[in-house]
Amino acid sequence: MIDLNDLLEQVWPIAAQQAMRTESVELKNALSRVLAEDVVSTLNVPQHDNSGMDGYAVRCADLQPGQPFRVSQRVPAGSSPQHLQPGTVARIFTGAPIPPGADSVIMQEDAVVNDDASVTFNALSKPGQWIRRAGEDIASGQVVLSKGTRLDAIHVGLLASIGVPAVTVTKRLKVGVMVTGSELQSPGEVLQPGQIYNSNEYVWCGLLESMNMEVRSVGIVPDNFEATCTALQSLADCDAVISSGGVSVGEEDHVKPAIEKVGQLRSWKVAMKPGKPIAFGHINRPGGGQSWFFGLPGNPVSSAVAFQLIVKPFLGLLEGQARNEVDWRSRMRKVKADFAWSKPDSRREEFLRVDVQSDKAGLFANQSSGVLTSLASSSGLIRLAKGQQVEPGGWVDYVSYQDLMK
């Protein structure tokens, strides 16, 4: 058996070494794409010192308690103010540029408007009060987002805030999906005796689509050597192919022999639970070149967990994502176990489905690798080392599904 960490060090660098092609996309199409180069701001954000409040722009040195001031100009957001006349104040609104000569803003709640339209202030002010400084958010020349970032909605908004209309991203990854199993039936069809519904395809395709990858699924493939070879070859033009089920060594497990026929296979027993047997390799393309291949176990929890921990980061790296983004191990944190785990596996590390609230991890009662509700009702995974026992109140390592999805 191979330890998960050792497997990741063997497999992930292969993906990170691949050269990727790039293209330019408009900002509105950039969500979930991976930046192919650093983005540097060419401007200060904000561009000018501006007001953080509705109120009055003043010069502090002019202020006297109880003294009325003439309002010499009105500065709404989007306008270009005049120099502040000495001994006067300017009416100003949130986001409006500070008039030259003013050094502070007094909020309108601290001002009284007199009958003659002059204002008297209830509070004094310090220079800089309620002023947002030019460049305090982003300075011109600053790297705003670095190469290898998968863009989320906030990132795209940040790019908009520096006026970038388009970005250079890596080409979308094309991922092939197949699910093996003669017992599988599609939702919408009537289950015959012994059949079960295919759920793995939906989990994977959903996760891949949420990363904006191009998914090509051939769906259900029966447990038959020829059919498995045909399905694999039909997906050979993808950048990577994932298949579920049929990776053990039973007579009905055809994935490994099929990969040996249509490409090259390396397979491991990974010392982890769930998700032990993993096949890895490539499929040869008829015209030259190859597609990376992962064969994961069919059990719904094994297939989802192995996908998240091993395959998804590999695909992210293949698409040009930075290692620090995809390596979920750096996002693990300690939480307190609200459960006991007294019979650990001495040979395999274990990933337990838990629901964490206020840093306390509650264990989902059924940890069987076939129980998809354990994933649906949990917030993330606890990683237990081989032989690690847990007592209630003990600290354990946790990663949330949200963090796994970066």
**3-state DSSP call for residue 200?**
helix
For 182, residues 6+ apart whose C-beta sits below 8 A from its C-beta are 222, 223, 224, 252
Phi-psi region of 325 (alpha: psi -120 to 50; beta: other; left: phi over 0): alpha
Q: What tokens appear for 324 in the block?
A: 């620090």
For residue 392, the SS3 value is coil
- Nearest distance from residue 341's CB to ligand AMP, in Å? 24
Rank residues 41 and 200 by Cβ distance to ligand AMP and give the closer one.
Answer: 200
CB of 19 to ligand AMP, least distance (A): 33
Binding residues for ligand AMP, rule: CB under 6 A, are 179, 181, 183-184, 196, 198-201, 244-246, 248, 297-300
196 binds, among ligand AMP, Mg ion, none (CB under 5 to 8 A by kind): ligand AMP
The CB density around residue 334, as the number of other CB atoms within 10 Å, is 10
CA distance 246 to 262: 16
- Comparison of 50 and 200: residue with beta carbon closer to ligand AMP: 200
Using the minimum distance from each CB to Mg ion, give the nearer residue, 245 or 277: 245
Of 94 and 195, nearer to ligand AMP (C-beta) is: 195
In the complex with ligand AMP, the residue whose CB is nearer, 125 or 244, is 244
Among Mg ion, ligand AMP, none, partner that 284 touches (CB below 5 to 8 angstroms by kind): none
Both tokens assigned to 49: 């010192």
CB of residue 401 vs ligand AMP: minimum separation in angstroms? 19
Residue reference for tokens 């998968």: 150
Complex with Mg ion: residue 246 or 281, whichever CB lies closer: 246
Choices 147-155, 262-270, 297-305, 328-336 (CB under 5 A): range interacting with Mg ion: 297-305
Nearest distance, CB of residue 224 and Mg ion, angstroms: 11
Helix (H, G, I), strand (E, B) or coil at 309: helix
Nearest residue to ligand AMP on Cβ basis: 298
| Secondary-structure breakdown of the chain: helix, strand, coil percentages, each rounded to the nearest 5 | 25, 35, 45
Phi-psi region of 17 (alpha: psi -120 to 50; beta: other; left: phi over 0): alpha
* Closest CB 252 distance from ligand AMP, rounded Å: 7
What is the distance, to the nearest Å, from the Cα of residue 166 to the centroid of all Cα atoms in its chain? 21
Q: How far is the CB of 184 from Mg ion (least distance, A)?
A: 8
Q: Find all residues with CB under 8 Å of 263, minimum gap 6, and list them.
A: 232, 281, 282, 283, 284, 290, 291, 293
Q: Which does 167 bind (CB under 5 to 8 A by kind): Mg ion, ligand AMP, none?
A: none
Among positions 169-188, residues that touch Mg ion (CB under 5 A) are 181
Whose Cβ is closer to ligand AMP: residue 245's or residue 316's? 245
Binding partner of 212, given ligand AMP, Mg ion, none, CB within 5-8 angstroms per partner class:
none
* SS3 sequence of 42-106: CCCECCCCEECCCEEEECHHHCCCCCCEEEEEEECCCCCCCCCCCCEEEEECCCCECCCCCCEEE
Distance of CA 179 to the CA centre of its chain: 26
**277 near Mg ion, judged by CB under 5 A:** no
Give the residue, chosen from 135, 245, 277, 313, that forms a contact with Mg ion under the rule CB under 5 A: 245
Least separation, in Å, of the C-beta of 254 and Mg ion?
9
Query: Closer CB to Mg ion, residue 246 or residue 263?
Result: 246
Q: Which does 299 bind (CB under 5 to 8 A by kind): Mg ion, ligand AMP, none?
A: ligand AMP
The residues binding Mg ion (CB under 5 A) are 181, 245-246, 298
